[in-house]
Each structure stands twice: as structure tokens, then as C-alpha cells.
Amino acid sequence: MNILLLGSGGREHALAWKLAQSPRCDALYAAPGNPGIAAHATLVDIDARNRDAVIQFCRSKAIGLVVIGPEAPLVDGLADSLRSAGFAVFGPSAAAAQLEGSKGYTKDLCVEANIPTAGFLRCTSAAQALSALPGFGLPVVIKADGLAAGKGVVIAETDAEARAAIEDMFGGGFGAAGAEVVLEQFLTGEEASFFALTDGVSVVPFGSAQDHKRVGEGDTGPNTGGMGAYSPAPVLTPELEEEAMARIVRPTVNAMAARGTPYSGVLYAGLMLTADGPQLIEYNCRFGDPECQVLMMRLEDDLVDLLEAVATGKLAGRTPPRLAPETALTVVMAAKGYPGKVEPGAPITLPETDNVPGAMIFHAGTALRDGALVASGGRVLNVTATGPTIGAARDEAYALLDRVDFDGGFCRRDIGWREIARADPQT
């Protein structure tokens, strides 16, 4: 089968690496891809926003499966256009991608399907939000409704901060994403990411991970897209995972089908493990980045088979994908300045990883300049390793990272710290 993968980050490099390993993959194309993806796929220069160009390309290469990596083209309806043109697509319709595209949409669905989530109010004006504020106590969580590249959430510790965040969002600080705002009760607990594959009717769990969203060690500083992750996340015990499937994921899939907008693709649930059980913080309509990288390191099944079963509505009766019991851990190397403004162009020299079992350096924001590898984004590399324990995976990943020559970059040195402290309090 010929496959087209859309996207250009570390998530897509991990997907390309795994898709290319399948004996069922004849030709793999990636648009636009990156220099790491180029080792597994033919790069094509098509903009995912140009739907006609994507469809034309799929026709010209007899593409049997399109895999859409990032959320923006999904929320924008690319999967709908491709399906109308007769192509099998891994990724939800625009209507179903509202689970990520609108926080208020998801909150209403939680009420309708009795899904545990923080108490909330959808607000369409600053005056409404400001007058409701006292009812939420402190801290209070204030969210721009739409897509804001992970930056549209403020946890306000004081009334003044809360008011400023509300004024900022309605004042256009987050563009169109802030035209509506959701106020939420603050939940306490540990966070875990949980993944499920669904074709709209059947659902299978697809593992857990824990991300590190803050830029600084000890989980301090501004939020980022994610500075490192590991999988599995043992805090999500098999019992809690079953509870999340029964009380959150399956009711969501059923409610989406009942609304006439079945959700097909990977459903990424951001969970808060509270004293009262798992609660839904948010949904994403795609794999996490960098969570995907650690899931792909552990996946033992054929990714083409899996994604095709999801895309063609043939998940019924399949056993859940097999994930190796090892822990995989990835450390993000970012360009200095991230998550603020970064200068592209810093040179990178990578160590040889071909002969290192269980180790991969995924490219997230790299480019070739005059044949030499340089940084081209905020998050640049995902240095990834597996091990029998999280401590072993961490040691391998940092040993590999220390062989990367990237003076323009930085990383957190404490990825996995919570779990490592639990697993081995001596280290």
C-alpha cells in the first residue's frame, strides 16, 4: 500500500519510522516532512491547507491510506475532504475534531454523557466571566475555547490574575481562540495521558504516557508543547485505565456516534487522577507530541494494520495493540529561548544511532542548510531510549543526548523525575 503522512514534527518522524517498518508499506510519502523523516519516506512539498493539491497527489500516487499527524488540518476538515474524494484517512472529521477544537464543546459533551470533569462555565463575554469568577474559588482555571497551540490555559492563583487573564482572552490576546472562554474548577492530582484508538464504534486502549509541559526542571516556568515524556505511566494503573475507558473514553465515543458525528482516529485523553478517580482535563484529536514517540518505541504490532483498521471501520474484534513492557523515555532538545522566540539555524551534529538497540533520535524542528543539519524550530530533537526500568531508559536517553552536538539547544535533565523517585527512591 502507498501511504501519505502529513506533518513535520517529532511525532510524524516516529510515525514514519514505524509505518516504514511494515511489510505492507510499499511507498511512504511525507508532506512536508523533515530531514529525519526523509530517511523513511519520500518528502513532498505540499501544504496541507491546499486540499486540492493533497487530493491530486493522492490520486497521482494511488494512496491507500492518509495519516494526518497534527490537529490544525483535522479541525480544518482535511479528513472530510479526503474521505469525500474516496480516500481512507486516519484522523477525525472536522465535526469530531471539535473535541480538541473547542473546550466548551467537550465540556458540554461531558455533561450530556455524565463524564467526570471539573465544574465549569462557558462564557461569551468578559462581563459574564468576571461576574461568575467568585463562585470558582482560587486557584481558578481560565481557558480560551479554541486551538491555541497549548498556550490558551491560565491557572490563576489570585483574583487579580484571573481578571487579567479574562480581560486578555476577550481582548484578543489569543486571537479567535479566545472569543469564548471556559472557567473551570481547579483539580488536584497527578496528570497522565491516555490514548485509545477508535473507528467510531469499537475502541481499544493504546497505552499511557506522562508528559512534562513546563520548560524548567521540577516542573517550573512557562508551559511548552512538552519537554519530554515516558511510557507507560504507572500512575495509571490497570484499574484506573479500565475506569477511564468505562467512564470517560467509551461514553465519549458513544455520545459522538449518537450525535451523528462519530469520532474515528486516536483519542488522546488528558486525565487528572484525583482522589475521586480519573477526571477528564481535555481531549486531543491526534497523538501527543512527544508522547507518540515513546508509544511508537514500545509498539510491537504493525502500525499500518492498526491505522488502516481505524480508518476503514474494521476495529471490531481486534485485541488491543501490543506494547512492549519496557519503558521508553524521550528528552526534548529545544532551541535556546523556547517557548519564547528562537533563532533558527544553529548547527547540529548527531551521533550514529543505527547500532544502538532501543535508541532513536527523532527530528522535530530540523532543516538542511547547504547539506548541513540545523535547527529550524522551537523543539528540535527528541532523544529517545528504552530500558527495562524507567531509570535505565532515562540513563540511556541522557547518555545518547550527551553525544549530540547542539550548542544552540537546551533540555531538561529531570525527565521522568516523579516516576523515578517512586520507582527507586535511592536515585
Q: Which residue in 211, 241, 308, 414 binds ligand GLY (CB under 6 A)?
A: 211
Decide whether 18 or 103 has the Cβ nearer to ligand AMP: 103
Q: Residue 141 or 401: which CB sits closer to ligand AMP?
A: 141
Question: Which residue intervals of 268-416 are DSSP H helices?
Answer: 291-298, 303-311, 390-401
Question: What is the total count of residues that contact ligand GLY (CB under 6 A)?
Answer: 8
Alpha helices in 234-299 (DSSP H): 238-244, 250-258, 291-298
Tell me which residues in 214-273 interact with ligand AMP (CB under 6 A). 270
Of the pair 55, 364, the CB lying nearest ligand GLY is at 364
Q: Note whether 145 binds ligand AMP by CB under 6 A.
A: no
Question: Would you count residue 213 as binding ligand AMP (CB under 6 A)?
Answer: yes
**284 near ligand GLY, rule: CB under 6 A:** yes
- Candidates 114, 423, 117, 93; CA nearest to 270 is 117
* Dist. CA 36–CA 22, nearest whole Å: 18
Return the one option of ligand GLY, ligand AMP, none that residue 184 interacts with (CB less than 5 to 8 A, by type).
ligand AMP
Which single residue is written with the C-alpha cell 467510531? 200
User: Containing H/E element for 379?
Assistant: strand 379-387
Q: Which does 289 bind (CB under 5 to 8 A by kind): ligand GLY, ligand AMP, none?
A: ligand GLY
Element (H, E) at 159: helix 159-170
Grid cell locating 115 = 463524564
C-alpha cell at position 209: 504516557
CA–CA gap between residue 320 and residue 341 (Å, rounded): 41
Q: Which of 190, 191, 301, 395 binds ligand AMP (CB under 6 A)?
A: 191
Cβ–Cβ contacts within 10 Å for residue 341, how many?
8
Does residue 118 touch ligand AMP according to CB under 6 A?
yes
Residue 291: contacted member of ligand GLY, ligand AMP, none (CB under 5 to 8 Å, by partner type) = ligand GLY
Residue with cell 493539491: 53
Task: Please check whether residue 377 is in contact with residue 367, taking contact to mean a CB–CB distance below 8 angstroms.
Answer: no
Alpha-helical runs (H) found in 69-125: 71-75, 78-84, 98-101, 103-112
226 touching ligand GLY, by CB under 6 A: yes
CB 115 within 8 A of CB 252: yes
Q: What are the φ/ψ torsions at residue 372 (nearest 5 degrees)?
A: -110, 145
**N-to-C CA span, the chain:** 47
Report the nearest approach of ligand AMP to the CB of residue 143 (Å).
Answer: 6
Q: Which residues pair with 405 in a beta bridge?
A: 349
Q: Which cell is 79 given?
A: 479528513
Scanning 82-90, 104-112, 150-158, 331-339 for contacts with ligand AMP by CB under 6 A, the matching segment is 150-158
Identify which range of 169-177, 257-265, 286-294, 343-351 contacts ligand GLY by CB under 6 A. Answer: 286-294
Tell which positions 290-329 bind ligand GLY, by CB under 6 A.
Answer: 291
Q: Name 260's Cβ contacts closer than 8 Å, sequence gap at least 6.
A: none
Q: Which of 187, 311, 380, 385 binds ligand AMP (CB under 6 A)?
A: 187
**Closest approach of Cβ 96 to ligand GLY, in Å?**
17
Closest residue by Cα to residue 143 from 243, 31, 223, 83 = 223
Contact 29, 45 (CB under 8 A): no
Q: Which is nearer to ligand GLY, 178 or 288 (CB)?
A: 288
**Which one of the spans 125-133, 185-193, 255-263, 292-300 is the region binding ligand AMP (CB under 6 A)?**
185-193
Contact between 282 and ligand AMP by CB under 6 A: the answer reads yes
Q: Which does 288 bind (CB under 5 to 8 A by kind): ligand GLY, ligand AMP, none?
A: ligand GLY
The stretch among 25-33, 46-54, 179-187, 413-421 that binds ligand AMP (CB under 6 A) is 179-187
Contact residues for ligand AMP, defined by CB under 6 A: 118, 141, 150, 153, 155, 184, 186-187, 191, 213, 270, 281-282
Contact residues for ligand GLY, defined by CB under 6 A: 150, 211, 225-226, 284, 288-289, 291
